[in-house]
Structure 1
Amino acid sequence: MTWHLGRMCGFDLETTGVDTEQDRIVTACVVQCGGSQPTASATWLADPGIDIPDGAAAVHGITTDQARTDGRPAAEVVEQVIAALTQVVRDGIPVVAMNAAFDLTMLDREARRHGVQPLTDIVGDQLRVIDPRVLDKHTDPYRRGGRKLDDLCRTYRVPLDGAHSADADAIAACRVAWRIGQGVPEIGGAALDVLHGRQIEWAREQAESLAAYFARTPGKESWAAGVRTEWPLIPHPRGGVQ
């Protein structure tokens, strides 16, 4: 059975911001779907331990007061999310994450911050990731318009109810991955190990292309140095606790 017809695990975070080294997890979802089995979803609301900026709250709908009142301790949430993903990886199920390098890096930094063993330290090279953003940019590199999840949902005719909630985004990412796998034999027919390795190369090439665009664009030259080429996780700069 090809990967897109089997079980997939959607993973998504909503956070206090977009800085993986400094921002924190607010909500998380790990959802298993497909493979002719019932959908199984787990969601978490964390108290991130810092204020949630108004701009972030406007995106995902969680305020600082709500997180402090209803959220669970961040360390507990991080530990449980990693435990859920660990089981998925050990079951041989691919983790589907839109812009995986953000979510997996954020989870890694939060684990180190709270003294929790990071996912990759537990599962090593068993982790297999499907990133709809990387797949889409590889298969249709010259398409005009955005490449965010809602853009991809429109492109691939995938419903997105409750955008920017972790559970809705996780399910939608799986549906987009399924559409791409179904429509592109090079991707849908590839073994997971092979596809994971190809995405490492595609993500690097895409990042290098973006950096080159920034470098030659007036007013954006300084952005080029900040483009990271690693996928699906940006290594911690010191490898230890932040």
Structure 2
Amino acid sequence: MSWHTGRLIGFDLESTGLAVETDRIVTACVVGCGGGEPVASTTWLADPGIEIPEQASAVHGISTEKARADGRPAAEVVEEIVHALVESVTDGAPVVIMNAPYDLTILDREARRYGITPLTDLVGDELRVIDPRVMDKAVDPYRRGRRTLTDLCAYYGLRLDAAHTADADALAACRVAWALAERWPQLRGTALDELHAVQQQWAVQQAASYAAYLARTPGREHEAPSVRPDWPLVPHQARGTA
């Protein structure tokens, strides 16, 4: 049986911004789907403890005022997210995350910020991640166009309602992962352990290719050194800020 026909656990979060070392979780979702069982999801709304920039609110729809009024303390939310993912990993399910280094690194830094044992410290080498962004680039590298979650859903003929909400995006990532495996035999024919390992290799290659592109693009040369090859998250010891 291929990994994609079993239970998949989707994870997505929306945050105060794109700086994984310093930005905070606003909303998150962990959803289980497939494997012959009903879809089951848990969502969270956190008060991140800082102002939510207007640019971020415009993306996910949560204002500072709403987060403060309706959100739960960030430390509680982070601990529950980590616990939910630990349960999934312990059950042997892969965690599907579109652009995994973004979500997992923010979650890791949030856990450390609040004195919570991070996910990777709890599950170690048991974590198996499926990243549709990395896989799609690897199996179809010359296809033109953007490869956001919205783009991948459109390309693979999948429905995505309420994009940029954590629950919709987490479920959509699982659907894209399933569609990728259905279309590409080399993905569905690869054992989960091996697929996790090869995605690390693909991520390194893709980062190098993107950095080279930036280095030769006038006006963007300065961006090349900031491209990181880390996958599925940026290790804590590699942080550039305190």
Partner of 1:192: 192
Q: Which structure 1 residue ranges, 5 or more long, are not aligned? A: none
Task: State TM-score, norm by structure 1.
Answer: 0.98
1:29-56 Cα shifts (integer Å, max 9, x gaps): 0000000101110000000000000010
Q: Residue 136 and residue 238 in structure 1: after superposition, are their counterparts in 2 closer, same or farther (change >3 A)?
A: closer
CA distance in 2, matches of 1:76, 1:97: 22
Say yes or no: does 1:26 pair with 2:34. Answer: no
Task: State TM-score, norm by structure 2.
Answer: 0.98
Partner of 2:40: 40
Q: Secondary structure at the match of 1:38?
A: strand
Q: Secondary structure at the match of 1:213?
A: helix
Partner of 1:96: 96
Q: Which structure 2 residue ranges, 5 or more long, are not aligned? A: none
What aligned pairs does 1:112-123 form with structure 2 within 5 A after superposition? 112-123=112-123
Say yes or no: does 1:158 pair with 2:158. Answer: yes
CA distance in 2, matches of 1:14, 1:145: 24
CA distance in 2, matches of 1:217, 1:183: 33
Partner of 1:15: 15
Partner of 1:53: 53
Partner of 2:130: 130
CA distance in 2, matches of 1:23, 1:206: 25
Partner of 2:212: 212
Aligned residues: 241
Aligned CA-pair RMSD: 1.1
CA distance in 2, matches of 1:48, 1:142: 40
State the 1:153 CA deviation.
0.5
CA distance in 2, matches of 1:155, 1:203: 21
CA distance in 2, matches of 1:158, 1:238: 37
1:134-179 Cα shifts (integer Å, max 9, x gaps): 0110111111111110010101111000100000000000000000
CA distance in 1, matches of 2:23, 2:143: 31
CA distance in 2, matches of 1:237, 1:85: 22
What aligned pairs does 1:60-75 form with structure 2 within 5 A after superposition? 60-75=60-75
CA distance in 2, matches of 1:141, 1:210: 12
Q: Secondary structure at the match of 2:236?
A: coil
CA distance in 2, matches of 1:46, 1:28: 8
Moved segments of 4+, more than 3 Å: none
1:3-32 Cα shifts (integer Å, max 9, x gaps): 000000000000000000111000000000
State the 1:238 CA deviation.
6.3
CA distance in 2, matches of 1:33, 1:193: 20
CA distance in 2, matches of 1:237, 1:5: 36
Q: Secondary structure at the match of 2:38?
A: coil
